[in-house]
Amino acid sequence: MSKEYQHILARAMSLPQNEFFALVQALLEKVQDKIGQETGISPMPLEDQELFAELDRRVEEIRTGKVKPIP
């Protein structure tokens, strides 16, 4: 990956949890929009509570070393 990508990823991972989740949500919305434009199918959005519960679980897996992020 490019140095810019690595820099952005490192900065994103160092954000406070609420800002990190807001960033992830914004990125997911962008991906969903892109998928919808390319396929004509709108993916079913997760409810906020479901989304944040899943994000909490994944962040904890990274913090504990159970999962290693792929650059």
pLDDT at 4: 94
| Three-class SS state of 63 | helix
What pLDDT shows up at residue 6? Answer: 93
φ, ψ of residue 30 in degrees (nearest 5): -65, -40
pTM of the model: 0.52
The reported pLDDT for the residue numbered 16 is: 93
Asked whether 5 and 13 are in contact (CB, 8 A), the reply is: no
Give me the helix-helix angle, 17-39 and 3-13, nearest 10°.
130
pLDDT in tens, the chain (71 residues): 899 999 999 999 999 999 999 999 899 888 888 877 777 766 666 677 788 888 889 889 999 999 888 87
What's the pLDDT at 46? 62
Distances (CA, A) of 35 to 20, 21, 39, 46: 22, 21, 6, 15
